[in-house]
Amino acid sequence: MHIIKLVFKNTFRHKLRTSLTILGIVIVILAFGLLRTVVSAWYAGVEASSASRLVTRNSISLVFPLPISYRDKIRQINGVKLVSYGNWFGGNYIDEKNFFANFAVEPASYLELYPEYILPSNQKAAFLHDRKAAIAGQKLATKYGWSIGDTITLKGTIFFGNWEFVLRGIYRGKDKSTDETQFFFHWNYLNETLKKTMPRRADQPGFYLVGVSNPNLAEEVAVSLDKTFKNSLAETLTETEKAFQLSFVSMSEAIVVAIQLVSFVVIVIIMAVLANTMAMTARERIGEYAVLKTLGFGGWHIAALIFGESLFIVMIGCTIGIAFTFPIAKVFGNTMGTYFPVFNVATKTIYLDVVVSLFVGAVAAVIPTWRAIKIRIADGLRRIG
C-alpha cells in the first residue's frame, strides 16, 4: 500500500511534465485506435462475407456482362440452392459528390440471399410489388433525409439519364458489420428501359450471386459452374464472396500497409517521449533512491516505484485516449460514410490499445530502473542537496 501511495504522489510531483506526457499519450492512443479502425473498415466487406455465397462474373473483367440465359443453367448445377443477379448501376444523387453504392438486383432472391438486411414485412411487400421501388440503408436514408414514399432521382453514369425511384423500404443491418449505406432497385426496371433505349445492353446482368446448400461445397460448385461455361462466348469466373471482396482490397494494399506502418510509428514516438520523461524523473530522484536503499529497500522496491509510475502515466493516457476514440470515430464514420460504410471501433482495437500501452510503459521504464538500481549508495547520497 505504501508503494502505491508513493507511485501516485511521484506521478504528480511535476504536474506540467506529467500532464504534457499524458496528453501526448492520449493523442497517440487516439491516432493509433483510429488508424487501426480505418484498417478494419477497409476489410469490413471481407469480414461480413458469407461462406455460403458465391459471386460469378465475366472471366475477362467485371466490366463485361453475362447473358441472362446463364441463370437457368446455374440453377441446374448440383449444390446450388439459390441464384440472384444484378448490375452495378453507378448513379449519383443530385450531383457527383453524392455518391454511394447502388445496384439493380432481382429483388426476391437477393433479399433471400442477404438475410442480414432487416426489412419490415410491409416494406418488403411494397418493394417487391412496385417495379419502380427502391430500398436504402438506414445510414443512407438518414444522411439524405429520405422517408418512405419519397421519389429519388439518380443520374446514371453507366446507364445515362435521370432515373426515378420510389423509396419503399429502409433496411437495418443485422449487426454492426452490415453495410447500411447501399441502395437497391429492381433489375427488371433497368432492363425494360434498356430494351427501349439501349437494346444491345439489355438482358445482360453484370454478375450472378449464387447461394450454395452447404458452405463445404462452395469450391466444388464454383469449379462446376465455370466448367459449364468453358469455351462459351462469355466465360465465367466464380469465387467466394470473401475472395471477391479481397480482390478489391488488394488493389489498395499498399495504402493499407502504409496505414499499418504509421500506426506503429506513432507508438515508437510516444515510447521515446515517455522514456525521456522517466529518465528525467529517475535522474532527479537518484538521491532519494539512495536514501531508500539505506533504509533497507531493495532493488525490487525501487523497480516497483519506477515501473509503477511509468505504467500509471501511460494507462491514464490510454484510458482517456480510448474514451475519446469512440465519439471521434463516430464523427469520422458519419463524415466518411461513402468510403467507409462500416466504421466501428472493434473490441480487438481496444485490447490492442491496452497491450501496446502496457508495452510502452514497461519498455520506457527499463533503462531508468536499471540505472537507479545499479548506482551505489555513496554516489547517490552525494546528489542530495
Question: Does pLDDT of 365 surpass 60?
Answer: yes
> CA 202 → CA 87, 105, 205, 356, distances in Å?
11, 14, 8, 55
The residue extents of the domains of the chain are 2-44+252-381, 60-234
User: What percentage of the chain reaches a pLDDT higher than 70?
Assistant: 93
Looking at residue 182, its pLDDT comes to 93
Instruction: Report the chain's mean pLDDT, rounded to a whole number.
Output: 86
* Burial track 268-302 (b if 16+ CB lie within 10 A, e otherwise): eebbebbbebbeebbeebbbbbbebbeeeeeeebb
Name 133's bridge partners.
166
Do 53 and 178 form a contact (C-beta atoms < 8 A)?
Answer: no
Q: 228 or 198, which is more confident?
A: 228
Per-residue pLDDT tens digits for 270-286: 888 888 888 777 777 77
Q: What is the mean pLDDT of residues 88-97?
A: 89
Q: How far apart are CA 271 and CA 361, in angstroms?
A: 8
The pLDDT tens digits of the residues spanning 186-225 come to 999 999 999 988 888 899 999 999 999 998 889 999 999 9
Average pLDDT in the 297-302 region?
76
| pTM for the model | 0.76
Tens digits of residue pLDDT in 128-177: 999 999 999 999 999 999 999 999 999 998 898 899 999 999 999 988 87
